[in-house]
Amino acid sequence: MLTIEFVLLYLALGGFVGFMAGLLGVGGGGILVPLLAMLFGYQGMAESQVIHLALGTALTCMIITSAASIRAHAARGAVQWPLVGFMAGGILTGAFLMARWSSQINPVFIALFFSLFMAVIALQMFMNWRPRPSQSPASPPGLLLAGLTIGSVSALAAVGGGFLSLLYLGHKNVPLKQAIGTSAAIGFPIAIAGALGFMVSGWSHTSAIPYSLGYVYLPAFLIITVSSIAAAPLGARCAHNLPDVQLKRIFGLVSLALSIKMLATVI
């Protein structure tokens, strides 16, 4: 049941997600998934559906938060559009197909995958590990394959697109702040394809949930996007004023907290 308390919680969550999307160049899905799963459970939705609903709703919200984040980073010249264009085809294909298939996966396995993936992100940030810089420039086939991988992972770990994009772009010698801006742009096709996939895959499973569109809970989507749009430019401004090492520490701490939260959801 949607009450005023949940409306206020969704507003606060949207503000936080929008700020972090601008700060870290991610669409905010990784932040949303465990928190939405918790809120959906409190609203009385079926335990077997909250993970899929959280993923579908988070990816739909990412359409808006990514767009706001892109605008803020592009205004600072921090998006390498040719890279985004070459990766987009693979991203759209991988994200849609994985989201479409996800309805057949036990939600516990999805939650465990998400938790493990976020823990790996945190470990990578704390250890400051980076892939060895490539000696060759990015090629169209390589960008397409990278996009396919990133899109597929992102359908099950909504922050995966941002993390894998940052690793890949770093490997291709893209400076961190431009990698963050480009990663934000890459998150946009991920969000569109993933959201459509979850709408289709959940169409016959959520008829008993009011205001749902497949695995997308519309009230949460609408309320979260209102506050996230306002907060994303502030996060982007902070990203360009903070040293790289501080951005990595923030990313690591957030990832670790989300990993623990999602793990607590299923144990």
What is the model's pLDDT at position 100? 84
pLDDT per residue, tens digit, the chain (267 aa), is 678 898 999 999 988 887 877 776 565 677 788 889 889 999 989 888 898 999 899 989 888 777 777 887 788 888 889 888 889 889 899 888 888 887 788 888 888 888 888 888 788 777 777 667 777 777 888 889 988 988 888 877 766 566 788 788 888 888 877 888 888 788 888 888 889 999 998 888 888 888 999 999 999 999 998 888 888 778 878 877 777 777 777 778 877 887 887 787 766
> Does residue 212 sit in helix, strand or coil?
strand
Q: What is the pLDDT of residue 112?
A: 86
Give the pLDDT confidence score for residue 217 in this predicted structure.
Answer: 96
For residue 97, the surrounding DSSP H or E stretch is helix 81-101
Q: pLDDT tens for residues 84-110?
A: 888 988 989 988 888 888 778 888 888
What DSSP string describes 150-197? HHHHHTTSTTHHHHHHHHHHHHTT--HHHHHHHHHHHHHHHHHHHHHH
For the segment 158-168, what is each residue's pLDDT rounded down to a tens digit? Answer: 665 667 887 88
Comparing CA positions, the residue from 172, 174, 235 lying closest to residue 14 is 235
Contact call for residues 45 and 209 (beta carbons, < 8 A): yes
231, 14 contact by CB (below 8 A) = yes
Residues 96 and 102: their CA atoms lie apart, in Å, by: 10
Q: What is the pTM of this model?
A: 0.80
pLDDT of residue 221: 94
Residue 167 tokens read as: 């690793």
The pLDDT of residue 1 is 66
pLDDT of residue 40: 93
